[in-house]
Chains A and B, each alone.
Chain A
Amino acid sequence: METKPTSLGRYVVAILFWAYVLIPLAWGVSQTLRKALLLLH
């Protein structure tokens, strides 16, 4: 497999960077999902 981060710091940076993009995306998806649930009404 590909090279893994060799220190805890590199893991933390990778996780934080992913969280930085995924949290806003999850918020946007949840807003759209709420709208989509209106279909059930």
Chain B
Amino acid sequence: MSGFFSKERITAGPNYNRWLIPPAALSVHLCIGQAYAFSVFNEPLTRVIGIQEALPEDWKLTTIGWIFSLAIVFLGLSAAFAGKWLEKVGPRMTMFTAACCFGGGLLISAIGVELHQIWLIYLGYGVVGGCGLGLGYVSPVSTLIKWFPDRRGMATGMAIMGFGGGAMIGSPLSVALMNFFSSDTSTGVAQTFAVMGALYFISMVIGSLAIRIPAENWKPAGWVPSEKPKKMVTQHHVHIDEALKTPQFYLLWVILCFNVTAGIGILGQASVMIQEMFKGGISPEAAAGFVGLLSLFNMAGRFIWSSASDYIGRQNTYFVFFALGALFYSLLPSLGQQGNVVLFIAASAVIMSMYGGGFATIPAYLADIFGTKFVGGIHGRLLTAWATAGILGPVLVNYIREYQIEQGMAKADAYNFTLYIMACLLVVGFICNLLMREVHPKHHLKPDTAGNGQ
């Protein structure tokens, strides 16, 4: 059985069509992206016993909120700790494990809902499912980088765009399934979890079966690497453990963390923020439309910005993210005060595209700085920045806003200070990006160990 999953078994022949790899990666990312749509279950989970309305013995929203938080924490932890294992066993084994964890996690959660045991949902979706998220996120990305040495940004953008798109599929699919299964005696959540667990398991297994890795020293036919080494693109490889000893890893960690923090700051509050900043001008329906528009720009930005980074360079791409992002964040309060809805929406949409772009371009940036051999494991460790930002972003926005309102500030004005803080975070990100240099040769893998993927 281990032979079937081994790296040798999935090493592609010389004529393999590399364009079959992106859909294999998308098969996984479109499934795990469902995590971002988990909030559609929040309200139905508060009335599992009461069915029509929440009863005192039903779960509270604060209890349910921990499910998603746990999943994101375990996404970061599994990606960070499974990095070496991922590089050792290869993408098929990792993606299959991710399928078992994510599909199995949903099935455990279905049992948890049926028995009304919250700990089973924490364990199922939060811990087991979260591990599936981490493994499923990192594995296809590093494989794509190896298949597309000429277009690393575009390749990783395709997969990570799938993660954004997964929420767009997961949300309406969940609602449709809950409507189908709901009855006088059930909210339909348990059945929906079970069906989605089975569907996602099948889709992710298809991805794991289709994935291939290129042979050692494989290059796309007709592609000749530039003889003149490109600035900030290494031809060497840095081991996972060695990468942690370089300042570049920590600079990239801050770059990702602050870019994501700023994005989450606006994404998590978008609906309420636009309604409060344009009091009476934006209906709740229009605010929901605003959130939908931001999701579309978030997804499109993942592909467009990462593809653009192949031409303008990773460092320049992040310069654009941070400079433009800081400028637009600083402009949002005055656009709100002027009542300029169109420019407010346009600036927010561009900010969201750069939030998505930041996620999608970072694996290619890592491959440029640390080489492609261990990029999966290094990417996994860098994703702890995402988990940190997942806490930092909402905390900054919520707590500062609450504090200001308690001090007597108008709700519409309470966002301004947090928006300026986000702009400051992006300025710090800009400086970190400015400090990025090539890794010192002492960290490079010695040629005699370069073939060893341990």
Measured CB to CB, the residues of A under 8 A from B are 1-6, 10, 13-14, 17-18, 20-21, 24-25, 27-29, 31-41
Can you list 26 A-B pairs, Cβ within 8 angstroms, ordered by A?
A: A1-B221, A4-B17, A6-B15, A10-B17, A14-B17, A17-B20, A17-B23, A21-B26, A21-B30, A21-B162, A25-B165, A25-B168, A27-B172, A28-B167, A29-B165, A32-B168, A34-B292, A35-B291, A35-B292, A36-B292, A36-B296, A37-B289, A38-B289, A39-B289, A39-B345, A41-B286
Q: How far is the CB of A41 from chain B (nearest CB, A)?
A: 6
Measured CB to CB, the residues of B under 8 A from A are 14-20, 23-24, 26-27, 30, 162, 165-172, 206, 210, 220-223, 283, 285-286, 288-293, 295-296, 299, 345
Residues of A within 8 A of B30 (CB): 21, 24-25
Indicate which residue in A6, A14, A41 contacts B19 across the interface (CB closer than 8 Å): A14
Q: Tell me the total A-B contact number using a CB cutoff of 8 A.
A: 95
Residues of B within 8 A of A31 (CB): 168, 171-172
Residues of A within 8 A of B290 (CB): 36, 39
Residues of A within 8 A of B19 (CB): 2, 14
> CB distance A3 to B14 under 8 Å?
yes
A41 to B283, CA, bound (A): 9
Name, among B172, B221, B286, the residue most crowded by chain A CB atoms within 10 Å (CB to CB): B172
A35 to B221, CA, bound (A): 44
Residues of B within 8 A of A35 (CB): 288-289, 291-292
Q: How far is the CB of A38 from chain B (nearest CB, A)?
A: 3
A19 to B15, CA, bound (A): 22
Residues of A within 8 A of B169 (CB): 24-25, 27-28
Indicate which residue in B26, B221, B295 contacts A3 across the interface (CB closer than 8 Å): B221
> CB distance B23 to A18 under 8 Å?
yes
Residues of B within 8 A of A38 (CB): 285-286, 288-289, 292
Q: How far is the CB of B205 from chain A (nearest CB, A)?
A: 13
